Structure 1
Amino acid sequence: MDESSKPFLASDGTASEDLETVQLSAGYSRKNPVLAWRTFSAQIGIVIVLALALGVVLGYNLQQIFSAGLTSKVLDGLILPPGEVTETWEHDLLFSQSPTAESEAAWNDLMPIGRGFIRPPEVAPPEITSIVAFHQLHCLHAILMAYYATEENLGRVLDGKGVNPDPQLYGTRIHTHHIRHCFDYLRRAIMCAADTNLEVIDPTNHTTDGWGQAKKCRNFTLVREYAEHWAPNEDTGIVT
């Protein structure tokens, strides 16, 4: 069979010329291997640059997601608690007893220098802010003081001695408006944190006190150290 009778092949040889034109336009000409290699290398370089740019963008977005706390692990639909510190809680009577010099010292030690107020460099212009955890502790302590002040005054009334006139009993303001603020503030704080640690229920009384069971917690010591590092003053103590 002669060339002119072969299908898809022009009798005037234009097919081979068209193929060569395509090869030249793509940079893969057999007549210029150097040009072909340079073109191929440039294309690879562009792909690498684009991949690096994409990696930077994805990395930044992932960092933003982590910082926003949107990557909490989920187990059977339950969002697992944040933190890498494992603690087993036991009832420490020092923090629930009637106030003494020893118990007040323990409460004061929970607060960092600066009492939880900070001036971090990330804020521009620099303003004093407050770390919520230490505000919560302050409120909890105020409620404790108000409870025992009320208990003492009730005992005084029953004994016919009258109410203690000291408006700052035990050195803490326990005015009604302050305690009301603290009740609602702690309510919102508990809902905000939404601690999802699980506690085993006692099979006998069907309740739990939460003691003696391991829990995942954030590192409170590191938070306290951060607060002290950026404290705007040397104030100490938990009292108002």
Structure 2
Amino acid sequence: MAQQIKYTRIEDGVGKQKPISTTVLGVTGSLVLIATVTCLSFGFLGFAIGMRIPAQAEAGPAWLSPPGRQSTTFEYQKVFTLGGSNETREQWHALFPTGGGFVKHPTVSPDMASLAVYHQLHCLNHIRESYWAAVYGTVTSDHQHAGSHVRHCIDYLRQSLLCHADANLEMPNKDEGGVTGFGFERQCRNIAQLKAWAEEWRVVEDFQGF
């Protein structure tokens, strides 16, 4: 015969407890009060620390605080898209700080490092140069025009874009029938401050790699 499981009814009297004394109730109440006060104290402490961290971050350099607080409006600048022009080369060169963005800083970077934005600009400029070299039929086999370098730059920029995940909202341009990204305000880092910081902590006086 299969064993039957039977649940005991509370009113059967099984497990009845004796009345709890007022002394026990008093001690229990005191412990609950102490625990409550302790939890509230730690809660307020955590809240205070949490409020203090953003305040400390806001006190730092504006360029170091993502996504940035600089109001900027993108405008199409054709000069950066052309090839074979001295003006274009000069404009691209002017984007880079003295030293090419390689820095050493006692706390931020004790060892030499490159600020990523200048590596990214280097890659974008290299893709531009390679595009026009292909258009003009002047592609060479050296590293600056090698396919592997272009492929490196394409995937590096892809991952950089995903890393930063720019969440500025871009409104459609009714005249163009799509989103151009130009002509409206967005929030950015202050690139002028970043460039000045890079020059202050540069490793070399001049860098020709870009």
Same fold (TM over 0.5): yes
Residue 169 (structure 2) pairs with residue 198 (structure 1): yes
Per the TM alignment, residue 128 of structure 1 is displaced from its structure 2 partner at its CA by 0.5
Higher Cα radius of gyration: 1
Q: 2:74 aligns with which of 83, 86, 89?
A: 89
Native 8 Å contact 2:69 2:190 kept in 1 = yes
Q: 2:53 aligns with which of 62, 72, 82?
A: 62
State the match for 2:157 in structure 1.
186
SS for the counterpart of 2:120 is helix
Residue 134 (structure 2) pairs with residue 143 (structure 1): no
Structure 2 Cα separation of the partners of residues 186 and 123 of structure 1: 24
Per the TM alignment, residue 87 of structure 1 is displaced from its structure 2 partner at its CA by 1.4
Q: One-letter code of the match for 1:110?
A: L
Residue 182 (structure 2) pairs with residue 223 (structure 1): no
Q: Against the structure 1 CA distance between its residues 232 and 216, is the aligned structure 2 distance closer, same or farther, given a 3 Å change threshold?
A: same
State the match for 1:177 in structure 2.
148
Native 8 Å contact 2:68 2:189 kept in 1 = yes
Native 8 Å contact 1:108 1:236 kept in 2 = no
Structure 2 Cα separation of the partners of residues 188 and 215 of structure 1: 22
Structure 2 Cα separation of the partners of residues 191 and 60 of structure 1: 29
Q: What root-mean-square deviation, in Å, do the aligned CA atoms of Structure 1 and Structure 2 show?
A: 2.9
Per the TM alignment, residue 166 of structure 1 is displaced from its structure 2 partner at its CA by 4.4
Residue 181 (structure 2) pairs with residue 210 (structure 1): yes
Per the TM alignment, residue 211 of structure 1 is displaced from its structure 2 partner at its CA by 1.4
Structure 2 Cα separation of the partners of residues 165 and 139 of structure 1: 17
Native 8 Å contact 1:112 1:236 kept in 2 = no
How do residues 1-240 of structure 1 correspond to structure 2 at under 5 angstroms? Answer: 58=49, 62=53, 66=57, 82-122=67-107, 126-153=110-137, 164=138, 166-167=140-141, 173-203=144-174, 206-237=177-208, 239=210
Q: Against the structure 1 CA distance between its residues 132 and 165, is the aligned structure 2 distance closer, same or farther, given a 3 Å change threshold?
A: closer
Per the TM alignment, residue 85 of structure 1 is displaced from its structure 2 partner at its CA by 1.3
Native 8 Å contact 2:72 2:187 kept in 1 = yes
Q: Against the structure 1 CA distance between its residues 134 and 196, is the aligned structure 2 distance closer, same or farther, given a 3 Å change threshold?
A: same
Q: Against the structure 1 CA distance between its residues 62 and 209, is the aligned structure 2 distance closer, same or farther, given a 3 Å change threshold?
A: same
* TM-score, normalised with respect to structure 1: 0.59
Q: Which has the higher contact order (CA 8 A, sep 6+)?
A: 2
Structure 2 Cα separation of the partners of residues 212 and 123 of structure 1: 35
Give the paired residue count.
160
Give the % identical residues. 33
SS for the counterpart of 1:208 is coil
Per the TM alignment, residue 123 of structure 1 is displaced from its structure 2 partner at its CA by 5.2
* TM-score, normalised with respect to structure 2: 0.67
Ranges in structure 2 where 5+ consecutive residues have no aligned partner: 1-40, 59-65
Per the TM alignment, residue 216 of structure 1 is displaced from its structure 2 partner at its CA by 1.1
Native 8 Å contact 1:118 1:130 kept in 2 = yes
Q: One-letter code of the match for 1:62?
A: I
Native 8 Å contact 1:108 1:237 kept in 2 = no
